[in-house]
């Protein structure tokens, strides 16, 4: 029975994290009761234990209470990436990459689907040997870096150097602290430089930003992204995906990967030419 409960617990956590919509406590109790033939009291007890252990957390959105994966402990957000608070202990499994991340006010702690989608997009590119074949001279620009999680992820996956830019001084301070926590001060620079003033060329660019900004950034992204470079975009809603793809794929980019989580979209684009 102990093994069965652990199986149910793990299945609940996976269901909550991978669900395409937010799940209410009532919906979750009903789902696991039906799947595992539990009565309401048993289902409620398992969910309560997951909450008390810190695996699940109650959140309040849109005037309703939901259950979501708690990010105040070590949490896997992709096949290889595990986020760990500095004080938390985690024993890595084979091929795990553990990133230390201090929770602050900046965006990018793994709680939002767009952060996870961006990380998976980076992982998709940097674990595929047919994509970025030579990492020794590679570089990445993270536009709107927030906590710094994306530039950190890219560098721990093998990108040689990274720059994270953000207009928010609080975000820059937190990103610098997270870069330091992961021992990457010599490889990552956090800056307030506007993208319009950047003239370096990059192997990869990440932009977890809303649709109007993604649309406006096209010219500058195309200007500073290397030929055959990779662009990871998230921060867009699922119903905006078609428009974003129309803008970018019509103008020298090809879509290699896309994924949707909780009505948010993430895409990987490869530059296939240079426009004048």
Compute the mean pLDDT over every residue in the chain, rounded to the nearest whole number.
Answer: 90
What's the whole-number mean pLDDT along residues 15-32? 84
22 phi/psi in degrees, rounded to 5: -70, 140
- Check: CB of residue 225 under 8 Å from CB of residue 268: no
Q: What mean pLDDT is predicted for residues 201-223? A: 97
- Tell whether the model's pLDDT for residue 217 goes beyond 80: yes
Classify residue 94: in a domain, yes or no: no
**The residue to which tokens 């810190």 are assigned:** 54
Indicate if the pLDDT at residue 1 is higher than 50.
no
pLDDT of residue 96: 93
Domain presence at residue 107: no
Least confident of 87-91, 95-99, 237-241, 254-258: 87-91
Query: Mean pLDDT lowest for which of 110-114, 159-163, 190-194?
Result: 110-114
My answer on whether 134 and 258 are in the same domain is yes
Q: Domain residues for 162?
A: 113-271
> pLDDT at position 274, please?
53
* Three-class SS of 50-108: HHHCCCEEEEEECCEEEEEECCCCCEECCCCEEEECCCCCCCCCCCCEEEECCCCCCCC
Question: Same domain, yes or no, for 132 and 241?
Answer: yes
Domain-located, residue 22: yes
Would residue 78 count as lying in a domain? no
> Distance between CA 69 and CA 60 in Å, rounded?
13
Q: Among the listed ranges 44-53, 55-64, 166-175, 236-245, which one has the minimum average pLDDT value?
A: 55-64
CATH of the domain at 55: 1.10.10.10
Residue position matching structure tokens 């078609």: 242
Answer with the residue of higher pLDDT: 110 or 183. Answer: 183
Spell out the residues 6+ positions from residue 123 whose beta carbon is closer than 8 angstroms to its own. 78, 79, 80, 81, 153, 157
Residue 103 in this model has a pLDDT that exceeds 90: no
Confidence check: pLDDT of 273 > 70: no
Q: What is the pLDDT of residue 269?
A: 98
Which of 84-93, 169-178, 191-200 is predicted with the least confidence, judged by mean pLDDT? 84-93
pLDDT of 135-144, one tens digit each? 889 999 999 9
Is pLDDT larger for residue 246 or for residue 109?
A: 246
Judge whether residue 276 has pLDDT over 60: no
The total number of structural domains in the chain stands at 2
Q: Kindly state whether residues 121 and 246 are assigned to the same domain.
A: yes
Output the six-digit token pair for 132.
């970025």
**Lowest-pLDDT choice from 76-80, 129-133, 170-174, 236-240:** 129-133
128 with 255, same domain: the answer is yes
Bigger pLDDT: 252 vs 154: 154
Same domain, residue pair 140 and 256:
yes
Tell me which H or E stretch contains 265: strand 264-271
pLDDT of 186 higher than 50: yes
- Is residue 146 pLDDT above 50, yes or no? yes
Angle of helix 149-156 relative to helix 169-181, nearest 10 degrees, comes to 30
CB under 8 Å to 18, separation ≥6 — which residues? 261
User: Are 241 and 265 contacting, i.e. CB atoms less than 8 angstroms apart?
Assistant: yes
Q: Rounded to an integer, what distance in angstroms lies between the CA atom of residue 195 and that of residue 250? A: 22
Query: What is the percentage of the chain residues whose pLDDT exceeds 70?
Result: 97
What's the token pair of residue 159?
Answer: 């990108």
* Model pLDDT, residue 275: 46
Please state, in angstroms and rounded to a whole number, the distance separating the CA atoms of residues 179 and 66. Answer: 32
- If asked whether residues 127 and 220 sit together in one domain, one would say yes
At residue 212, the pLDDT reads: 97
């Amino acid at each position: 029975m102990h093994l069965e409960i652990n199986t149910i617990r793990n299945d609940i956590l996976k269901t909550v994290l991978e669900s395409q919509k937010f799940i209410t406590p009532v919906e979750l109790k009903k789902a696991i009761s039906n799947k595992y033939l539990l009565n309401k009291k048993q289902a409620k007890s398992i969910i309560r234990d997951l909450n008390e252990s810190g695996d699940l957390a109650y959140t309040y959105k849109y005037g309703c209470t939901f259950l979501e994966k708690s990010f105040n402990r070590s949490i896997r957000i992709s096949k290889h990436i595990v986020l760990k608070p500095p004080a938390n202990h985690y024993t890595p499994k084979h091929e795990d990459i553990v990133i230390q991340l201090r929770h602050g006010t900046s965006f990018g702690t793994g709680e939002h689907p767009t952060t996870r989608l961006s990380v998976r997009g980076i992982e998709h590119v940097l674990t595929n040997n047919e994509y970025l074949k030579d990492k020794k001279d590679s570089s990445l620009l993270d536009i709107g870096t927030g906590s710094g999680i994306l530039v950190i992820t890219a560098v721990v996956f093998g990108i040689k150097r990274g720059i994270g830019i953000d207009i928010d001084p609080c975000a820059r301070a937190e990103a610098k602290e997270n870069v330091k926590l992961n021992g990457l001060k010599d490889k990552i620079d956090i800056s307030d430089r506007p993208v319009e003033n950047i003239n370096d060329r990059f192997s990869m660019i990440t932009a977890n930003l809303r649709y109007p900004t993604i649309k406006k950034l096209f010219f500058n992204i195309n200007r500073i992204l290397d030929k055959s470079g990779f662009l990871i975009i998230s921060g867009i809603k699922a119903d905006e995906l078609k428009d974003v793809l129309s803008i970018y794929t019509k103008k020298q980019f090809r879509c290699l990967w896309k994924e949707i989580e909780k009505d948010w979209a993430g895409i990987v684009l490869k530059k296939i030419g240079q426009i004048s």
